[in-house]
Structure 1
Amino acid sequence: MKQQPRLYQIGNRHREILLHPTGHDPVHKGRVPFTRRHWLKWRTRHNPHTLAVEKRLADKKPLWWAIALGALVLSAPFLSNSGLSIAAIFCMYAAINVLWTLIIGTAGIFSLATMAVVGLAGYAAAAANVYLGVPWPFMLLIGGVTGLVVGALLAIPSTRLDGLYYALLTLGIAEICRVFIQQLKALGPSNGSINSVGSFIPGDWFLQREGLLLGFGMAFLLLLGALTL
């Protein structure tokens, strides 16, 4: 028996998300609180076959982000301890890369020193906690201010340099920061790290299942905060 062809409405794809709004406001879109940004980017048009008003999802990237992050959260309780550590590190690096898109995409500055800014902010916060006895909640403020100052200093040359020249400058600054940290013996171990840094994770939960879940949860919230910017 010959199989009948499956037909779709003109201009429609069977895997495309379509909404058929009702009422007198078919282009109404929900916005992120306290901003003018929309949760999803919809495009309103009339179907050329049925002449009905349709809303198509023009940008599907937020939808894929939501599916991937939802799957990550649902699978977190079933991951092993090493899997939770990997997931937390993934969330932190993903947040850094998402913010990097603000510099390259929104600001249009081809900077390669993003990790240097994050690293200097982290070292400043950790050093204040270990050597000055600053409580860990104030580390967030110290790290943020340090990153703001370093980022502002790096943004000054962008008024004179552009494109490849600024990228080479920021690449050189990032390499100088890496070599300086590795050679600075005052930090302690030979790998340039600072140990015994305060944390929001209780001491009894350190490297335990509860502490790993809490660390993953905070890293996930950090990624969500970066995505909403």
Structure 2
Amino acid sequence: MAARLLEVYLDLLSQPCRAVSLLLGCTSIPHTVRTVALRRGEQRSPEFTKLNPMQKVPVLVDNGFVLKESDAILKYLASKYDVPDHWYPRQPEKRARVDEYTAWHHSNTRPHAAKVFILEVLLPTQTGSPVDEGRLSRALSELDDTLVKMESMFLRRQPFLCGDDITLADLLAVCELMQPLGGGRDVLKDRPPLQRWRSRVQAAVGEHFDRAHAVLYALRDRQRARL
């Protein structure tokens, strides 16, 4: 029987790509990484566009099966491969809690944290124009509202977003909330409950956390050097 060939197309400056990378690292699923450098426009190449006409990462190719979207990829990996049950529990109520957060995530944590990074780092870098402080202030206010809801709706008195153990939800969330750090902004610095949660996530994934975020740390250091 031929060996399975699992490939993932990633750029670790992308938050969802880091979430996929963290799960693969933590679960030791054998795979090959194909780097797609977004800053060089490699996602627009004819070869990659055949895989994903939306020209976005991550993309998974598992023995010829092509899957897009980080949420779907994470849940596929957890369901298809022999990974610890806590990542995406089989018990229906526990699994539903993960699905509840991931559904909320895509219209709350993801766009609001990403917008801060786009306004503070990406647009000024691409255009050479100064940060639009008015738009940034509004984006930070939207993100702050999201962080309040994360604490009150999801963390409450439990250590992780969906219960007592780390899940896919925590990976998606932490990678988004780390993203503004690329501009030197720690959006959790005034939120001790979320700081403690981030520390628990970092401890749970171990060395994979800093490895996945190395490109973001490098961007932060370059931004600081320009100041």
What's the TM-score once normalised by structure 1's chain length? 0.24
Q: More helix by proportion, 1 or 2?
A: 2
What's the TM-score once normalised by structure 2's chain length? 0.24
